[in-house]
Structures are given as C-alpha cells and as structure tokens.
C-alpha cells in the first residue's frame, strides 16, 4: 500500500526535519528548508517484485581483483587526476565556480574521446544546441561521433541514450535535469537525488562512463544534498582565480585512483591547454633580488611544484594589524607570525602582514611554513633572499623545523630548474641519495633557517 509522506530538507546540507525551520538546525542557513512529498511503498519481503538479488556472498579470497579497464581521455592532465584514465561504467561529478571552464573541459574531453573510436552524447541543460555548436567551433571540437542534445527531462534523456548507445555521457548540469513524477522544482534536493540515482543505474547497468557537471554554493561546495558526492565514484573540483589563466583540477574522491593528484591547465582563446612543466611557468615572472620573495617546493600528489611566495610587511594604520593571505590558510599565517614573535623576538604587533602565492595556486600542506617565515622576515628586515634558493619545511610551535615527506622529489625538481641551494629540515636529509650540482643545507630551527637564508 502506498503512503504519502511529507518532510522538509535543507538545500545546503541535506538536513531532514518533520517540520519547517526558518534557520536550518544542521548548517545554520536561513530559508534553506524546502518541503518534499514522497510516496512510500510497503514491500512484502522476499516475495516482493522489488526484491531482486542474484548475487551470492563470496569469500573475499575468491573475488577477482584485476585492474579496472581504463580509457585514455586524450588529455594527459585529466588522465593523471582520474588515476590513469576513465573507467567504463563509472559515475564522475565535476564541480566548480561559474565560468571557470567546466563545460569547456567536458567538450574538449568529449572530442578527444571520439578520436579513440568512442561515441559521445553531450546533454546540455543550460545552453541551446546552437550555443554548444558555437563553443565547439571555437574549440575545434567537431566530430561526427559527438552528439549534442539540449534537454532537461530525464525520461527524454534516457530515450536519447537508448537511441544513440553512447560510450561516454556528459550531463551539463545535473541541477537542470528533472523527473516529471517528482513534484519538486529542478535543482531541488529531491530532483538532484533521484536524477543522480537514475544516471547511476545507467552507468552501472550499461557500462557507460557518465560525467555530471554540478553547480557549487557560495562556500565552494557542490550544491545539493551531500548524498550526491557519496553516490558517485569520483568527485573532481575545477579551481582557479577568475583573473588568472591557470586552472587546477583536483580530485577529492576517487574509487579507482588516488585523491592526491592535480591537473594544471591554462585557459586560452582556443580552450584549455595542458601545462606540462608548471614549476617553470609559475616562476617565469619571478623578480630577483627583492625582499619578501622566496621559492617553495610543494607537493601536489606525486608531482613536485615550485612556486613563488611573496610577503609584504608594512606599518599598520589601524588599532589592530591586518593579516591577509592569498593561496594559503590565513590561520596558518597567524600561527607562523606568532612563532616569529615569540621565538625570534620579531615585533610584528604594529605591522600589517600580506602574503600571496603567485600564479593563483593554493598550497595546503604544512611544508610551506618555513618559506612563509623566511618571506616575512625578509620583508620585515628589507633583506632580499638569494635568487637560487629553494626553501621548504614544517614549523612547530616551539620554533623547531620538522621533517616533511618526499624531500627527494622536491630537491630533484629544484635541481632540474637550475637552483643552486635548498634549505630543508635536517631530518629530511636521511634515507635517500643527494643529487649532484645542488647544495643541501639542513636546519633544525627557524633561527637556523633565517641565519642561512638572510645572511
């Protein structure tokens, strides 16, 4: 017997409640609760036609653990993030800010896959067929095996899939697709959840690799219920500053590969171009002999990345000094300033501190701490660092410099780009072979690092 059930759910965090709240108890968002009605069907256990289970429990040692077959997308940076290529039957979610290049990336990927003999269906719910064709003309993404459909009705999308029988399916975007039998508006929690469930059955049941493009909230998270990210196999975020040409593709969930890899692209007139040597590109405009500028060796997955850190310390005109950071966590900046004041005796209480990672890159690992401290001290003392130095290391609250992972890869990248000296934690010097032609200086405290870098 069917029973109609009414509930309220938050569009931001997915919190469910039996009654409406003006402010969501889960995420504290105002006016984010919407009403949903659903039909609950009571099943009859094993005799119900809804119960269909043909799989039997197997000993784990008898299960084949062979590698999943992968298809090369034709875009090396995307293959890197996906773990070596896209897996047939996988469901991938791609999110990012408006205008960052999600549709451009998907159209270029679709065109590249057609060169491998695959048939691609690109479903656009936000642009007309002519608009998509204009974008394809600009990108040069024209192929007889690339089919374009402008549709938002889920049932008609399924009909197109039955007709075309594609190997690769793109839905741009999932928030525009709706099911007629669900009474909620397109983009609501119920619609996004049900449509994603349908696409998951299409991907798994027919072996069609499916990519869902998703909108993001003001905070940068993918809009809709959190369940959306749990249902898919892979979640990718397309990041970048609107005023910079560089774009970063980062995996936050991947059932078929690592979540530590990133792909780096450059936005041009003809679309997205892969960046083969990002370190050289990020350092191409670095000024030499300027106080407050240092080069740090960071790791993004298995890829070492050399970027420039810039710090500016100036006398404040406010009752409390300003602390601003672009590219790193500003809480980490406050921590490093506190260590410099307490352990190094630097008087920064009357100084504004501004920190910037050149190129629009965001660095999240603690290995950049030592370079931040050297940049701040260099700007405060107005003493430039040496242009051939690379610095990395984690700073503790007592002023010690802690070891970091993958020191060998960082040093090799610095040597490849022509740097002469690396300042790194003393404990990171052990257990690997040092390359020739570059000087390694191990330090144990922040004081040791400043004495070497600013001598």
Q: What angle do CA 98, 227, 181 make, to 5 degrees?
A: 85
Contact by Cβ (8 Å): 199, 212: yes
Per-residue pLDDT at 316:
92
- Residue 15 CA, chain-centre distance (Å), reads 25
Per-residue pLDDT at 81:
93
Decide if pLDDT at 339 tops 50. Answer: yes
Instruction: List domains and CATH numbers for the chain.
Output: 6-37 (no CATH), 68-276 (3.40.50.300), 281-454 (3.30.230.10)
Q: Which long-range contacts (CB under 8 A, 24 or more apart) does 431-437 make?
A: 432/407, 432/408, 433/408, 435/411
The 3-state DSSP composition of the chain as helix, strand, coil percent (nearest 5) reads 30, 30, 40
pLDDT in tens, 81-133: 999 999 999 999 999 988 899 999 999 999 999 998 999 999 999 999 999 99
Per-residue pLDDT at 40:
45
Mean pLDDT of 141-170: 96
Strand ranges (DSSP E) for 278-427? Answer: 293-300, 303-315, 323-326, 351-357, 389-391, 394-395, 401-402, 421-425
Tell whether 100 is in a known binding site.
Answer: yes
Tell whether 98 is in a known binding site.
Answer: yes
Distant-in-sequence, close-in-space partners of 442: CB < 8 Å, separation ≥ 6: 424, 425, 426, 427, 428, 429
Query: Residue 124 and residue 151: Cα distance in Å, rounded?
Result: 6
Tell whether 110 is in a known binding site.
Answer: no
Distant-in-sequence, close-in-space partners of 116: CB < 8 Å, separation ≥ 6: 71, 72, 74
Mean pLDDT of 284-294: 91
Q: How confident is the model at residue 407 (pLDDT cuts 50, 70, 90)?
A: very high
52-66, 80-94, 121-135, 413-427 — which is least confidently predicted? Answer: 52-66
Decide if pLDDT at 290 tops 80. Answer: yes
Joined together, the tokens standing for residue 3 give 């029973």
Mean pLDDT of 52-64: 75
Mean pLDDT of 1-17: 67
Query: Residue 167 and residue 85: Cα distance in Å, rounded?
Result: 14
Tell whether 102 is in a known binding site.
Answer: yes
Tell whether 382 is in a known binding site.
Answer: no
16-30, 37-51, 291-305, 314-328 — which is least confidently predicted? Answer: 37-51
Per-residue pLDDT at 37:
63
Neighbours of 68 (CB within 10 A): 14
| Percent of the chain predicted with pLDDT > 70 | 92
Q: Which residue has the higher pLDDT, 49 or 417?
A: 417
DSSP, collapsed to helix, strand or coil, labels residue 31 as coil
Query: Residue 224 and residue 328: Cα distance in Å, rounded?
Result: 27
Per-residue pLDDT at 32:
74
Decide if pLDDT at 4 tops 80. Answer: no
Query: Residue 354 and residue 358: Cα distance in Å, rounded?
Result: 13
Decide if pLDDT at 1 tops 60. Answer: no
Tell whether 95 is in a known binding site.
Answer: no
Decide if pLDDT at 229 tops 80. Answer: yes
Q: Which residue has the higher pLDDT, 53 or 322?
A: 322
Query: Residue 365 and residue 220: Cα distance in Å, rounded?
Result: 20
């Amino acid at each position: 017997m069917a029973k109609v059930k009414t509930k309220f759910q938050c569009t931001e965090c997915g919190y469910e409640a039996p009654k409406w709240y003006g402010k969501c108890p889960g995420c504290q968002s105002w006016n984010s609760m919407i009403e949903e009605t659903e039909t609950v069907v009571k099943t009859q256990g094993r005799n119900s036609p809804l119960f269909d289970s043909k799989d039997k429990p197997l000993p784990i040692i008898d299960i084949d653990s062979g590698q999943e077959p992968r298809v090369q997308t034709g875009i090396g940076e995307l293959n890197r993030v996906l773990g070596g290529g896209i897996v047939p039957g996988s469901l991938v979610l791609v999110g990012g800010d408006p205008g960052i290049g999600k549709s451009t990336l998907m159209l270029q990927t679709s065109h590249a896959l057609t060169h491998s003999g695959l048939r691609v269906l690109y479903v656009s719910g936000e642009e007309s067929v002519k608009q998509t064709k204009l974008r394809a003309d600009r990108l040069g993404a024209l192929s007889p095996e690339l089919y374009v459909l402008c549709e938002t009705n889920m049932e008609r999308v399924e009909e197109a899939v039955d007709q075309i029988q594609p190997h690769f399916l793109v839905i741009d975007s999932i928030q525009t697709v709706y099911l007629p039998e669900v009474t909620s508006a397109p983009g609501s929690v119920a619609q996004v959840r049900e449509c994603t469930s349908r696409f998951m059955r299409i991907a798994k049941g027919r072996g069609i690799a499916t990519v869902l493009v998703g909108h993001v909230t003001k905070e940068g998270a993918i809009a809709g219920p959190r369940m959306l990210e749990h249902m898919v196999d892979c979640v990718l975020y397309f990041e970048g500053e609107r005023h910079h040409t560089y774009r970063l593709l980062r995996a936050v969930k991947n059932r078929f590969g690592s979540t530590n890899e990133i792909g780096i692209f450059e936005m041009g007139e003809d679309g997205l171009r892969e960046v083969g040597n990002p370190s050289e590109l990020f350092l191409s405009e670095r000024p030499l002999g300027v106080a407050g500028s240092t080069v740090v060796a960071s790791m993004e997955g298995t890829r070492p990345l050399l970027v420039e850190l810039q710090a500016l310390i100036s006398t404040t005109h406010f009752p409390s000094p300003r602390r601003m950071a672009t590219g790193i966590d500003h809480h980490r900046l406050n921590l490093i300033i506190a260590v410099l004041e307490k352990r190094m005796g630097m008087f920064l209480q009357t100084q504004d501190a501004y920190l910037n990672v050149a190129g629009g890159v965001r660095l999240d690992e603690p290995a950049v701490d030592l370079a931040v401290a050297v940049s701040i001290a260099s700007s405060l003392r107005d003493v430039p660092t040496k242009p051939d130095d690379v610095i990395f290391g984690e700073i503790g609250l007592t002023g010690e410099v802690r070891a970091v992972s993958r020191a060998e890869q960082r040093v090799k990248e610095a040597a490849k780009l022509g740097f002469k000296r690396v300042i790194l934690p003393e404990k990171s010097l052990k257990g690997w072979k040092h390359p020739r032609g570059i000087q390694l200086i191990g330090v144990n405290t922040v004081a040791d690092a400043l004495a070497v870098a600013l001598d």
